Structure 1
Amino acid sequence: MITHFQWKPLHKNLPGWKLSFYFNKLAVQALYHKDGSIEWIANPPAKPDEEKLTSMIHDLMVYHVYE
């Protein structure tokens, strides 16, 4: 489960966001690009968790940014 999810724009007028959150007790940082791709910066998830985590992040971004 994702906790303490935070996001902020990378640039004032361009799409792209810096994300930070906790997942499995690790502080994770990532960049969310306008095409929906995710670039892991700190503590990337293990391969078995990456697909599930990516889906959760997409849902959160739709809720917080696009609606």
Structure 2
Amino acid sequence: MPPAAVALALRMWGCMHGLISLEVYGHLGTQTGDPAKLYHAELLDLLRSLGLDVEHARHPGTRRSSA
């Protein structure tokens, strides 16, 4: 695997794993009332840093309108 791909994978894994670890050990409770919102925002930020279009990404738990 190219070094840039390894670096990217470690960055994404570290960020998301870190957030999950904080929640599992109860350290996010005082920081946020909705961890899913935090995970979603962080994942979108990581995807944007890759230059991916994420403008239409929905927050988990929301429904698509039928219009």
TM over 0.5: no
Q: Which structure exhibits the higher relative contact order, with contacts defined as CA atoms closer than 8 Å and separated by 6 or more residues? A: 2
Higher helix share: 2
What TM-score range do you get, normalising by the shorter chain?
0.3 to 0.5
Q: TM-score, normalised by structure 1?
A: 0.40
**Bigger Cα Rg:** 2
